[in-house]
Each structure stands twice: as C-alpha cells, then as structure tokens.
Amino acid sequence: MKHKVITISREFGSGGRTIGKELAKKLGIPCYDQELIEKIAEESGFAKEYVKDKGEDALHSSWLSNAFIDRDARGMSMQDYLWNAQSKVIRELAAQGPCIIVGRCADFILRDTANCLKVFIRASLEKRAERIVRVYGERADSPEKRLKDQDKRRRIYHQYYTDMEWGAAGNYHVILDSGELGVDVCVELLAFIYNKKGS
C-alpha cells in the first residue's frame, strides 16, 4: 500500500485540524479527524469522549508515570489498548486510498506502509492563545497555561509511543507557521507540495 497520505501533526491551537479539512476539500480526498475518533471508538470499545481526550495526549504529565502507572496483569495500560486500536484503524484507512489524517502519531504509524507527506503545523504561543479564545471560546485569562499543558501532554505521548521528538524538524517533511502564514496560505502550499510529490 503506497497511497499518497498527508499526516498533520500540530501544536494545540495552531489550526492544524482546520488546515487538514480545508486541504481535503481542495484535493478532493477524505480528511480523518472526527471520523477517526468514531472508528477508533468502534474498534476499541472505548467511549468517543475517551478516545477524543486520551488518543494523543498522555494521561500523566511525566514520561515515567505513563510508563509504570495504571497497568494490568499483562503490563498494558488503557492507553496502550487505545494505541493498538487506533494504529489498526489508521493503517486500514490509509490502505483505502489517498487521505489526510490529523494527529494521533499517524506519521509514525504509517512510516513503512504509506507514501506520506509528514506535516507539522505550529504558531507562536501568543497567536495560538488568541485563536483558542476566538475559535474555541476559551477563557481569556489563562489560555497560555492550557496551551503549554496540552502541548506537554502531546509531546510526552508522542515520545512514549514513537521514541521520537514531537515537533523536531528532522521528523517531518514540512513545518509551517500558521500564525505567520495563515490557514489559506498553508493550504495552498500543502496542496502544491502534495501534487508535486511522487506517487
């Protein structure tokens, strides 16, 4: 299976999900985000809210805690079971044809099975804070704290399951600053790269 797949990793509040959806419309291919959550919930038996909240963020704020706490007799945590289920679903979706997959370490999961364009979307803390207040209705008094906490948990989760540094330039083909470029420019750039990338 060597379908062209775009994987979008992103800092919280950077607009990566929006970029993925708009890019999918432009390219005429599916974007798996909310649909991915629903399929993982079906596969795993976990509630959709649990999959949404815990499918790409560490349960604990330290790598060590995630490694040793809350494990069953087989040495598996609830998050391990969720990881296995979402890995299976991501591989199945990518096998169906060209698509965009947002988050959930899809770049790592598909590293050997798909023709991936691995993208990371970032923005300054200030611009992300402004965006989550405007778009998500976050309280304006402490959005920076929520951003830092969310990014920390995402970073720990990514490192724990992939042994790779989340957001490190060497792990992606393209890193875009959505705060400086804007969503529309990011979409145009990624569409151009996708269409030029070899099949």
pLDDT at 71 (0 to 100) = 53
Nearest to 181 by CA among 121, 134, 125: 121
Residue 103 belongs to a domain: yes
173 pLDDT above the threshold of 60 = yes
45 pLDDT above the threshold of 90 = no
Query: Which amino acid would we find at residue 174?
Result: V
For the ranges 31-40, 48-57, 119-128, the maximum mean pLDDT occurs at: 119-128
pLDDT at 68 (0 to 100) = 47
**CB count in 10 Å sphere of residue 37:** 22
199 pLDDT above the threshold of 70 = no
How far apart CA 166 and CA 58 sit, in angstroms, is 13
What percent of the chain lies above the pLDDT cut of 90? 55
Residue 196 belongs to a domain: no
pLDDT at 48 (0 to 100) = 87
Residue 48 belongs to a domain: yes
Any residues with CB less than 8 A from the CB of 95 and at least 6 apart, and which?
Answer: 1, 3, 113
53 pLDDT above the threshold of 80 = no
Residue 198 belongs to a domain: no
What are the φ and ψ backbone dihedral angles of 8, each rounded to 5 degrees?
-120, 110
pLDDT at 163 (0 to 100) = 92
CATH number at residue 96: 3.40.50.300
Q: Place 34 in a pLDDT band, splitting at 50, 70 and 90.
A: confident
72 pLDDT above the threshold of 60 = no
The DSSP output letter for 129 is H
Residue 153 belongs to a domain: yes
DSSP string, 127-159: HHHHHHHHHH---TTSHHHHHHHHHHHHHHHHH
Average pLDDT, the chain: 87
18 pLDDT above the threshold of 90 = yes
Any idea which residue has 């790592």 for tokens?
108
* Averaged pLDDT for residues 170-193: 97
Q: Place 17 in a pLDDT band, splitting at 50, 70 and 90.
A: very high
* Averaged pLDDT for residues 157-170: 92
pTM here is 0.87
pLDDT in tens, 130-144: 998 888 776 656 888
Number of domains in the chain: 1
Query: Which domain covers residue 83, as residue numbers?
Result: 4-191
Residue 197 belongs to a domain: no
